[in-house]
């Protein structure tokens, strides 16, 4: 007598499965049973299943991982956002919160974000006692005099199932007030706790009045201290305190850090320029992971304009868009998302990275960054059925950044839905049309 055949809960039929962890890129059926990946085969047409979803023509990927999120809503003022926005509704099943929570507020972050979000949530805890309060708009909240490294270390050690590292900013604002003191405390805490450092490069905090800080000196001070497993953010920011100097050349310290095994995370957000990205990529620097870096200052009315003014004051941007100056609601759309993971992936494709590499950045590489290769970033049998399904459209679009740069794309990735532990959720957010719009027709070649 033949054994009883397995009845699957769900089969995704006929999609293009790309799983770099298993070196798969081809049409496959994916079966789910009891919230786990139960089968992966060219065809499961004969297998019994309670439900089948036709995903022919779509991309079927391991659940995407956003390596740079800010999801501590309310506690951080206008900065933190609902984790469902950059998470499930954006096509992402795992979020890595970058420094929004701190040692004194982490218990609340764990209770009200980690335990309640649909997506998996991990954290690089902030070294600052105020965390990302109000988006760091007041330099006083990041004073090294308020940092208690013993509490930070204790919090990390007590929450290693969620916390993977420590977040710190290394930029002109903090250096103008306190030099490298804040970075030194973060470095000490990370090494003592045995976790990586995630380092934000590029201007963010208000400078001390009358102070002048050489961004080159910051790079020379900070980057040589980073070790394999540490991560540097914002390689495509136009700020000279990031990866490249005013001459556009990538700093040698950055190259040396990459050679040592220091990781690079895009952290798209507003610290992103297509012009800078093109220059950095052309010099052979390719990031390891992608983060949306979505936060309240990206998406809430009024904050786009205020952020733009801060960029101008810092010398990062030159103008405020006319529509924003007029207070045009279209320039400040409420509840629209400026960036989704699919949009960031589209941008990487438009910049010339192949699809396998972009998928690798958002799956297996990101899982490795947080030390969770055995839990996330793969469709391996027996893993939690965290799956992202994307539409892949062809056409012509113009992608824009906050610095007035644009790039054309001949394909666009759009979130369709995800499976989280085998349960289907719609991924219904779409990128704000300020940043992705149909490209004008070109004249026919003569």
Q: Which among 176-185, 274-283, 399-408 has the top mean pLDDT?
A: 274-283
Tell me how far apart the alpha carbons of residues 373 and 381 are, in angstroms, rounded to a whole number: 14
CA distance 390 to 222: 39
Confidence at residue 139, expressed as pLDDT on a 0 to 100 scale? 63
Q: Is the pLDDT of residue 324 over 50?
A: no
Whether the pLDDT of residue 299 is over 70: the answer is: yes
Residue 282 has what pLDDT?
Answer: 97
User: 292-320: b or e for each residue (b if 16 or more CB lie within 10 Å)?
Assistant: bbbbbbbbbeebbbebbebbeebebbeeb
pLDDT at 349 exceeding the cut of 60: yes
Reported as half-sphere exposure (CB side, CA atoms, 13 A), residue 422 has a value of 20
Q: What tokens does 283 get?
A: 């010099």
Above 90 in pLDDT, residue 2? no
Could you read off the pLDDT of 353-399 as tens digits, one per residue?
A: 999 999 999 999 999 999 999 999 999 999 999 999 999 999 999 99
Q: Which CATH class for the 64-369 domain?
A: alpha beta
Q: Is 259 exposed, middle or buried (0-12, 13-18, 19+ CB in 10 A)?
A: exposed
Angle CA 250–243–85, to nearest 5:
145
pTM confidence score: 0.91
d(CA 349, CA 295): 23
pLDDT digits (tens, 9 = 90+) for 80-128: 899 999 999 999 999 999 999 999 999 999 999 999 999 999 999 999 9
Distance of alpha carbon 146 from alpha carbon 131, whole angstroms: 11
Do the Cβ atoms of 392 and 413 come closer than 8 Å?
yes
**431 vs 340: CA distance, rounded Å:** 6
The domain spans of the chain are 10-62+379-438, 64-369
Q: What is the pLDDT of residue 441?
A: 53
The second-level CATH assignment, the architecture, of 10-62+379-438 is Roll (2.30)
75-79, 275-279, 303-307 — which one is most confidently predicted on average?
275-279
* Predicted local distance difference test score (pLDDT) of residue 78: 80
Residue 3, pLDDT score: 56
Residues near 139 by beta carbon (within 8 Å), at least 6 away in sequence: 173, 174, 177, 205, 206, 208
Beta strands per DSSP E along 63-162: 64-69, 92-102, 120-126
Instruction: Quote the CA–CA distance of 136 and 267 in Å, as a whole number.
Output: 17
Provide the pLDDT confidence category of residue 330 given band limits of 50, 70 and 90.
very low
């Amino acid at each position: 007598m033949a054994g009883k055949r397995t009845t699957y809960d769900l089969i995704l039929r006929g999609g293009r499965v790309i799983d770099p962890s298993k070196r798969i890129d081809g049409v496959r059926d994916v079966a789910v049973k009891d919230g786990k990946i139960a089968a992966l085969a060219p065809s499961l047409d004969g297998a019994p299943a309670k439900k089948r979803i036709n995903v022919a023509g779509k991309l079927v990927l391991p659940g995407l991982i956003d390596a740079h999120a800010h999801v501590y809503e309310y506690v951080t003022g206008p900065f933190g956002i609902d984790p469902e926005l950059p998470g499930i509704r954006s096509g992402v099943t795992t979020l890595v919160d970058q420094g929004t929570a701190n040692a004194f507020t982490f218990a609340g972050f764990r209770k009200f974000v980690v335990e309640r979000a649909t997506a998996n949530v991990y954290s690089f805890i902030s070294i600052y006692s105020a965390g990302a309060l109000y988006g760091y708009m007041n330099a006083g909240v990041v004073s090294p005099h308020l940092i208690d490294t013993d509490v930070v270390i204790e919090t990390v050690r007590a929450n290693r199932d969620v916390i993977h590292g420590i977040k710190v900013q290394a930029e002109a604002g903090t250096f103008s007030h306190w030099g490298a003191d804040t970075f030194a405390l973060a470095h000490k805490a990370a090494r003592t706790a045995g976790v990586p450092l995630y380092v934000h490069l590029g201007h963010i905090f208000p400078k001390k009045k009358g102070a002048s800080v050489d961004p080159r000196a910051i790079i020379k001070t900070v980057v040589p201290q980073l070790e394999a497993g540490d991560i540097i953010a914002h390689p495509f920011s136009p700020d000279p305190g990031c990866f490249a100097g005013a001459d556009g050349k990538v700093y040698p310290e950055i190259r040396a850090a990459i050679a040592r095994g220091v990781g690079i995370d895009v952290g798209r957000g507003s610290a992103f320029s297509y012009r800078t990205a093109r220059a950095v990529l052309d010099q052979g620097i390719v990031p390891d992971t992608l983060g949306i870096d979505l936060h309240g200052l990206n998406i809430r009315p009024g904050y786009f304009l205020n952020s733009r003014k801060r960029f101008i004051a810092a010398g990062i941007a030159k103008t405020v868009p006319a529509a924003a100056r007029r207070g045009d609601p279209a320039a400040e759309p409420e509840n629209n998302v400026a960036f989704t993971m699919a949009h960031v992936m589209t941008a990487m494709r438009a910049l010339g990275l192949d699809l396998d590499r972009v998928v690798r950045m958002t799956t297996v590489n990101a899982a490795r960054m947080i030390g969770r290769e055995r839990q996330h970033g793969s469709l391996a049998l027996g893993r939690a059925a965290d799956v992202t399904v994307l539409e892949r459209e062809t056409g012509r679009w113009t992608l824009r950044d906050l610095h007035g740069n644009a790039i054309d794309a001949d394909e666009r990735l759009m979130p369709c839905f995800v499976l989280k532990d085998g349960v289907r959720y719609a991924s219904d957010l779409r990128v704000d049309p300020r940043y992705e719009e149909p490209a004008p027709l070109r004249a026919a070649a003569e």
